[in-house]
Amino acid sequence: MAALTDTAIKAAKPTSKAFKLSDEKGLYLLIQPTGGKWWRFDYRFDGKRKTLSMGTYPDVNLKQARAYRDEARQLVANGTDPAQLRKAEKTTISEAMREQAEAEKIEAMIRAGESLPGSFAAVAQEWAEKFLADKSEKYRDKVIRRLEVEVFPHIGRTPVDQVTAPDVLALLQRIESRGIFETTHRIKQNIGQIMRYAIATGRAVNEPTQALRGALTPNKATHLASLTEPKEIGPLLRVMSSYEGSPITKAALTIAPLVFVRPGELRSMEWAHIDWEACEWRYTTPKTKQDHIVPLAHQVVKTLRELQPLTGHARYVFPSARSDQRCMSDNTINAALKRLGVDTSKEITAHGFRAMARTVLEEVHGFRPEVIELQLAHAVRDPLAPYVRIVVAPNF
């Protein structure tokens, strides 16, 4: 499904019946016969389908609606019903509107080239341009959007050398009160990075997030669902082999458990990176920026050969259904698993094949942990890491 655009929204005209303009991940714009445009987000909670209202267009623009949707999705993932939380929230509508207006005002000033000299927002913009340049566009947009929505309305105009620990704690507690603990800690980390950059460039003296140790609810690590019992893996693979949807998606499902790379790396596999003679896939991992070699089992090579007539003309092995200039979406494999009846919250996700491989390779087949870590393309966390230059093949 193609993502919604501002152009499509502006071009939408009311009809005699209400209709939807769908975006992604449950978000859509409901066009009323009267001309009103209402943002809605459909989700499931406790096994029930629910709808959350998110304001009207253009009061809430597309970017803001997506931010609200992402926040609601994280609440659901954390076991919180966003509709019920909204009823319990103490923040008044007028406060929320003031925060939104302030965020938009600061964003507009930055985009217009008004740098707000010496302010937290100005230093944050400079930090982002310098330290997020080598990150993916998706990651950059996510970090910048978090700052624009959650941080700038509160301390964006504050001179960076006057940002205090109580200032930061207050804004973080507002986020924490919504139950999105992971986001709270990520924003705390971003603020700390920006303040350390300000100190390094002589524009601040103190780093306020250091004083917040223990002041926030700990972020409990959540592990993505995976199967690690050998007796459970066979039935899962048989279910996956029965997939009757897109042949491109079926190929991705077939290959995923055999290469156990990160889902984003599998989706962005390129034909040019496959060494057919050596039966290897060679690429640079986006996460560690290291060259990586994935040996390809004969089942993988066979699947790729069968797929080549269909997508071999494109750059990506698994191109998007919308454009062969882009790879398939990040939710395609999980959606296919759900279609097969696999519970991705309890059984396995696209990322879970890595944990499955990690456990079975060591506990069942006796492979050395350090070799498995290398094959998983995990960064080496060791003082000698800069000196590690090894290739383990063919006998692990």
Which region among 177-181, 303-307, 317-321 has the lowest average model confidence (pLDDT)?
Answer: 177-181
- Sheet harboring 291-295: ordered strands across? 274-275, 280-284, 291-295
How confident is the model over 37-81, as pLDDT tens digits? 899 999 998 888 899 888 888 888 898 888 888 888 888 887 788
How confident is the model over 250-286, as pLDDT tens digits? 999 999 988 888 888 899 999 999 999 999 999 888 7
How confident is the model over 169-206, as pLDDT tens digits? 999 998 888 778 888 999 999 999 999 999 999 999 99
Query: Is a pLDDT exceeding 50 seen at residue 91?
Result: no
Q: Give the residue carrying structure tokens 């309890």.
A: 346
- Report DSSP letters for 26-70, one per residue: TEEEEEPTTS-EEEEEEEEETTEEEEEEEEETTTS-HHHHHHHHH
pLDDT level of residue 371 (50, 70, 90 thresholds):
confident
Q: Give the residue carrying structure tokens 């655009």.
A: 5
Span 6-65 CATH architecture: 2-Layer Sandwich (3.30)
Query: Is a pLDDT exceeding 70 seen at residue 86?
Result: no
Q: What is the pLDDT of residue 378?
A: 63
Query: Is a pLDDT exceeding 60 seen at residue 114?
Result: no
Query: Is a pLDDT exceeding 80 seen at residue 345?
Result: no
Phi, psi (degrees; rounded to nearest 5) at 177: -65, -15
Q: Give the relative orientation of helices 120-131 and 137-146 as an angle to the nearest 10 degrees.
A: 170
Stretch 344-362: mean pLDDT:
79
CATH 2.60.40.10 fits 230-387, yes or no: no
How confident is the model over 205-222, as pLDDT tens digits? 999 999 998 899 887 655
Structure tokens at 233: 């893996």
Across 157-180, b (16+ Cβ under 10 Å) vs e yields bbbbbebeeebbbebbebbbebbb
Q: What is the pLDDT of residue 352?
A: 82
pLDDT level of residue 387 (50, 70, 90 thresholds):
very low
Stretch 19-31: mean pLDDT:
91
Determine the 3-state secondary structure of 296 from DSSP.
coil
Q: Residue 122's closest CA among 160, 166, 162, 153?
A: 160
Q: Is 273 in contact with 281 (CB distance < 8 Å)? A: yes
Same fold, 93-212 and 230-387: no
What fold is seen in the domain 93-212?
DNA polymerase; domain 1 (1.10.150)
Amino acid sitting at position 189:
Q
Helices (H), ranges, the chain: 6-11, 62-77, 82-88, 93-111, 120-131, 137-146, 152-155, 165-176, 181-200, 230-241, 247-259, 263-267, 298-311, 332-339, 352-363, 369-375
Residue 274 forms beta bridges with which residues? 281
55-61's contacts with Cβ under 8 Å and 24+ in sequence apart are 57/9, 57/29, 61/6
How confident is the model over 126-142, as pLDDT tens digits? 999 999 888 777 788 88
Q: What is the pLDDT of residue 392?
A: 46
Instruction: Please state, in angstroms and as integers, the Cα–Cα distance from residue 117 to each residue in 99, 122, 172, 193, 264, following that order.
Output: 21, 6, 24, 19, 38
Residue 333: burial class (beta carbons within 10 Å; 0-12, 13-18, 19+): buried
Angstrom distance (rounded) from CA 170 to CA 195: 17
- Report DSSP letters for 154-165, one per residue: HHTTSBGGG--H
Query: Is a pLDDT exceeding 70 seen at residue 97?
Result: no
Stretch 351-359: mean pLDDT:
82
Q: What is the pLDDT of residue 217?
A: 86
Instruction: Please state, in angstroms and as integers, the Cα–Cα distance from residue 159 to each residue in 35, 67, 91, 145, 212, following that order.
Output: 43, 27, 26, 21, 20
Q: Is 379 in contact with 262 (CB distance < 8 Å)? A: no
User: How many Cβ atoms from other residues are within 10 Å of residue 19's Cβ?
Assistant: 14
| Domains in the chain: boundaries | 6-65, 93-212, 230-387
Which residues, including other chains, have CB under 8 Å from residue 243's CB and lie 6 or more apart? 249, 250, 253, 336, 339, 340
**pTM (predicted TM-score):** 0.47
pLDDT level of residue 105 (50, 70, 90 thresholds):
low
Q: Give the relative orientation of helices 62-77 and 181-200 as an angle to the nearest 10 degrees.
A: 120
